[in-house]
């Protein structure tokens, strides 16, 4: 514990340098705006801005991108409360009660409790991050190539078992991501793989066109189909103060939502959206006035906002300690580390201690900045919502394509970005999850190298994956993560069939 506090002190010394402070401020402000723009969201915004991190010191770049990640959680609240359009998926539950409160003249209270709840839950999650990450990373240092392979596999399969939607679709999308990552030249044999005779593909498909296309461009294309013509509700600075009754009503909701969000954030594949939904449902169950939920419950807003911000921070623990992204946003953050030439995984805390502790310290600073920005400047941010999205979309597309071109100075990268933009758009239309594709592309290199090293060590024998207790446990977890969703699908199918049979019997007896 003392070592963690000493390391955190060193992290503050790094984060408080003028350059890093500037980029933390820029990151949280961009996150606020990106979260407020309907259809973008933190993961898409981070992917679009990855190219500007080239030439910036790694620690500074990661602090800025992380600021976008948790800043987006704050920003999504504005559109949810004032326009009833969630700027980010994790803010869906905020819109349920937040906009009702705004119509009742309590927009200021909803925005204020969101900012305070997000701040308290975010800081609490970062404190937990300080003490949980080092022992987990120390334990993970005992991993060898079989454990690394199984850990990377678990990161992908857990997305299917824990995430929302069809697990079969999630696994298929993960396989699609692995196929994308295999394009290029075999790292051991030097032969071409899946290049179809194209010399441009010999170097492989970079993560950047995939991320910008599937997340950024696809989101913009889908958002242009929707209309956001509703008039924003105005709010004033004097309306932002919470009464003693409001605070008494919400403090337990903030605590409960923060703890629940942090625990869900630790699970790969769950993420802030799942955390917000579960926290809202849990708060309704414990509330003395459940009838208010859906009609303007301030504690419902507090629980959902606390949970999504806490989960965004909690998702960093598996990424920093194990190299497994806990969400789509942390997958982009992991890719940023790779682009900076840093190998993610259990050795990160040893080899890049300054970066990790600087990042953790920057989150304390970033949350304070966001609180200061959100309380007095919420009316100003709300005024930005009056800009029609149709005017913003072309600028976002141009910036993303320029970013894709700047990474390689090749128009082929621009073409790839547009191609994956269409792929991402079609995936959204077909209700196919996009996060498994990104996770697979990021983790494929670790999976392939670890698998090959393991098989070379064992001379081709698969028994190496069960020889050590740790690898055997990880293998069981991988199998369980594949079987659990299949079992739940089978159970739901049986329940539906039993329900149909009962209905038919009741109709026949009548």
Q: Rounded to 5, what percent of the chain is helix, strand, coil?
A: 80, 0, 20
Q: How high does pLDDT run on average in the chain?
A: 78
Per-residue pLDDT tens for 128-144? 888 887 777 777 667 77
Other Cβ atoms within 10 Å of 426 Cβ, number = 12
Per-residue pLDDT tens for 160-170? 554 456 778 88
Give the span between the Cα atoms of 281 and 162, in whole angstroms.
18
User: 328-339 and 58-82 helices cross at what angle (nearest 10)?
Assistant: 160
Average pLDDT over residues 453-460: 85
Strands 184-185 and 192-193: antiparallel
Segment among 4-18, 37-51, 82-96, 336-350 with least mean pLDDT:
82-96
Total-model pTM: 0.65
pLDDT of 195 > 60? The answer is yes
Q: Residue 48 — very low, low, confident or very high, per pLDDT cuts 50/70/90?
A: confident
Alpha carbon 452 to chain centroid, angstroms: 30
- The domains of the chain are located at 2-509
Give the span between the Cα atoms of 468 and 142, in whole angstroms.
11
- Burial of residue 497, with CB atoms counted within 10 A of its CB: 0-12 exposed, 13-18 middle, 19 or more buried: exposed
Average pLDDT over residues 40-45: 73
Contact criterion met (CB below 8 Å) for 72 and 58: no
Average pLDDT over residues 153-163: 66
Give the span between the Cα atoms of 304 and 402, in whole angstroms.
36
pLDDT of 233 > 60? The answer is no
Per-residue burial over 250-271, b if 16 or more Cβ lie within 10 Å, else e, is bbebbbbbbbbbbbbbbbbbbb
């Amino acid at each position: 514990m003392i070592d963690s506090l000493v390391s955190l002190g060193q992290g503050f010394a790094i984060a408080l340098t003028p350059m890093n402070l500037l980029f933390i401020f820029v990151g949280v402000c961009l996150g606020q705006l990106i979260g407020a723009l309907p259809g973008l969201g933190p993961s898409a915004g981070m992917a679009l801005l990855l190219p500007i991190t080239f030439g910036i010191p790694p620690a500074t770049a990661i602090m800025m991108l992380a600021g976008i990640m948790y800043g987006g959680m704050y920003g999504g609240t504005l559109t949810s409360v004032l326009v009833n359009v969630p700027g980010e998926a994790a803010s869906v539950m905020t819109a349920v009660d937040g906009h009702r409160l705004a119509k009742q003249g309590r927009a200021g209270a909803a925005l204020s409790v969101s900012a305070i709840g997000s701040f308290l839950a975010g800081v609490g999650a970062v404190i937990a991050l300080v003490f949980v990450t080092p022992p987990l990373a120390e334990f993970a240092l005992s991993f060898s190539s079989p454990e690394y392979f199984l850990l990377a596999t678990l990161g992908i399969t857990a997305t299917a078992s824990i995430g929302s939607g069809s697990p079969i679709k999630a696994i298929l999308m993960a396989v699609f991501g692995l196929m994308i990552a295999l394009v290029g030249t075999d790292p051991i044999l030097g032969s071409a793989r899946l290049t179809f005779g194209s010399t441009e593909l010999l170097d492989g498909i970079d993560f950047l066109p995939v991320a910008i296309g599937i997340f950024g461009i696809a989101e913009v294309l889908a958002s242009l189909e929707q209309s956001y013509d509703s008039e924003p509700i105005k709010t004033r600075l004097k309306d932002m103060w919470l009464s003693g009754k409001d605070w008494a009503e919400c403090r337990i909701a903030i605590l409960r939502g923060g703890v629940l969000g942090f625990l869900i954030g630790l699970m790969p594949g769950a993420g802030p959206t799942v955390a917000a939904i579960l926290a809202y449902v849990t708060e309704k169950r414990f509330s003395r006035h459940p009838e208010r939920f859906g009609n303007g419950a301030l504690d419902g807003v507090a629980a959902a906002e606390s949970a999504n911000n806490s989960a965004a921070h909690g998702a960093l623990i598996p990424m920093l300690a194990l190299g497994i992204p806990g969400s789509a946003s942390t997958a982009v953050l992991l890719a940023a580390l790779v682009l900076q030439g840093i190998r993610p995984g259990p050795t990160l805390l040893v080899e890049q201690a300054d970066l990790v502790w600087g990042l953790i310290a920057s989150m304390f600073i970033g949350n304070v900045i966001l609180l200061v920005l959100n309380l007095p400047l919420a009316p100003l941010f709300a005024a930005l919502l009056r800009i029609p999205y149709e005017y913003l979309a072309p600028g976002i597309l141009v910036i993303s394509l320029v970013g894709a071109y700047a990474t390689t100075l090749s128009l082929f990268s621009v073409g790839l970005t547009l191609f994956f933009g269409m792929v991402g758009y079609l995936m959204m239309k077909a209700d196919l999850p996009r996060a498994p594709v990104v996770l697979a592309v990021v983790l494929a290199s670790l999976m392939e190298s670890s698998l090959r090293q393991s098989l070379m060590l064992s001379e081709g024998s698969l028994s190496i994956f069960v020889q050590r207790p740790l690898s055997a446990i990880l293998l069981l977890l991988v199998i369980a993560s594949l079987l659990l969703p299949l079992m739940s699908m089978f159970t739901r199918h049986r329940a539906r069939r039993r329900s149909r049979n009962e209905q038919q019997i009741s109709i026949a007896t009548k």
